[in-house]
Amino acid sequence: MTAVCVMVLGTTSGAGKSWLTTALCRHYARQGLKVAPFKAQNMSNNARVVAGPGGALGEIGSAQYFQALAARAEPEVRMNPLLLKPEADTRSQVVLMGQVSEELSTMPWRGRSEKVWPAITAALDALREENDVVVIEGAGSPAEINLHASDIVNMRIARHAQARCLLVTDIDRGGAFAHLYGTWALLPEDERALIKGFVLNKFRGDATLLAPGPQMLQDLTGVPTVATLPMWWQHGLPEEDGVFDDRTLASGAVQTTIAVIAWPRISNLDEFQPLKNVPGVRLVWARTPADCAGADWIVLPGSKATVADLAWLRAQGLDQAVAEHAALGGAVLGICGGLQMLGEALIDSHGIDGNAPGLGLLPLVTAFDPQKTVRHTQARFSALAGPWSALSGVETAGYEIHHGQTAQHPAMAAKGDVAREVIPGLAWQNAAGNVLGCYLHGLFEDPRVLHALFGASAPTLESVFDGLADFLQTHVEPGVLDALIQPD
């Protein structure tokens, strides 16, 4: 078995590559084909825990995790062999085949490409041997001429796999035909030949008004426009690459407003997607104290640079907003890095993240450890008090990705100031009951948690994936999707 490869390229970041790849995975899986997603390199702090070589667990980008589920495949590290997790504007933690590589993390970017290329092609070739179709996602634009020589994620992959490529553009930004033509024109001739269709994404209005643009573009390039996809806010997939969609999709009068602090190095923001679909819930991304005004909950999410994001929180005055909210009995939830910030101190003896005083809302201390915790976790909450009491006795499942290890603050414990440990080693609550910190990602993706907190549920992932495939089939020219996987 050698899979046919269909590849989704974009004229820009945010053009729609990730959701289109997800839709294609579900479309081909519904044809009874064995399908796998692939992205050679992803830069994102949204990551999931998946199976790796020899049974070890590792990390891949969340987009490839969801694409695997859409393909009805078990997510695994070969689907995203290289993951870059930004820690600063000029520095990223490099995860190769699911595991952090200190050597690659300190290596200059341009020197890294040839080092990782064998692992990338080995992963892709192995997936091709085991599947009928591999749906590949590119990154950014394939026509960045300053990066072409060191490319490992766009056209070099397309050539290696002889992929049938779709080039998607965001027409809502304007200049879509220029984006498509310019991208095509900047590619070498052999790479242009791999572009089988153009896709116009996020179109508003009457599609007949596009004429004669698509035909003129085809006359210039020989490439047909195979789909015009309407603007669709409610596809149900989380935003990728740290892009925030501020639209709350849920119906009904707002009963609970949840403000999630949107610090610069937020991680795993995708886990909050289900909250957008819970009736009566309004989700707000908070960047200023004013954004927290009137919130029922304030959530401190995960962070890839906890101490730096804590400094940003203080610089914005958000630390005071959180403290005042908690002092008035408002619900506060810290997840992973947010949990660490809620404690008294963050201690770094290994040069991982830095030292800092915490917010002091939980009598805990976190010590950063070079060994990274990456695992799936199942747990049950013990009895909780205050606004979190609905979680008492609830079983849940999620995942952990963190360097820090958190425990009771010894000096405060000696004075009787002790946090209630509501999940051993994973979650703590303050004495008043309104502040909860937890290492477990994925709480709001668990229907048991949503039902306990809100008495409601969000759309299932299966319904989201089927909706994506239905939408795609409706708006792509007839026969195009089948033709992409036909033998040459």
What residues are annotated to the active site? 336, 441
- How far, in Å, are 84, 109, 154, 238 from residue 46 at the CA level? 10, 21, 21, 10
Rg of the chain in Å (alpha carbons): 23
User: What b/e string do you get for 344-371 counting C-beta neighbours within 10 Å, with b at 16 or more?
Assistant: bebebeeebbeebebbbbbbbbbbbeee
Q: Round to whole Å and give the CA distance between 23 and 466.
A: 8
What six digits make up the tokens of 337? 């890095």
**Strand, coil or helix: what is 171?**
helix
Spacing of C-alpha 99 from chain mean position: 18
Could you write out the DSSP letters of every residue in 280-317?
Answer: TEEEEEESSHHHHTT-SEEEE-EESSHHHHHHHHHHTT
Amino acid at 43: M
Strands laid side by side in the 133-137 sheet: 35-38, 133-137, 4-10, 164-170, 195-203, 225-230
Q: Are the C-beta atoms of 347 and 366 separated by less than 8 Å? A: yes
What six digits make up the tokens of 379? 């747990």
Q: Round to whole Å and give the CA distance between 230 and 58.
A: 36
- How far, in Å, are 104, 300, 303 from residue 359 at the CA level? 34, 11, 15
Q: Is the peptide bond before 212 cis (omega within 30 degrees of 0)?
A: yes
What six digits make up the tokens of 135? 């749906």
- How far, in Å, are 218, 253, 256, 346, 452 from residue 387 at the CA level? 59, 20, 12, 27, 12
Strands laid side by side in the 91-96 sheet: 41-43, 82-88, 91-96, 99-100
> Nearest 5°: phi and psi at 376?
-85, 145
- How far, in Å, are 50, 78, 306, 410, 425 from residue 334 at the CA level? 24, 32, 12, 21, 15
Angle at the Cα of 245 from the Cα atoms of 307 and 251, rounded to 5 degrees: 120
Q: Are the C-beta atoms of 441 and 335 separated by less than 8 Å? A: yes
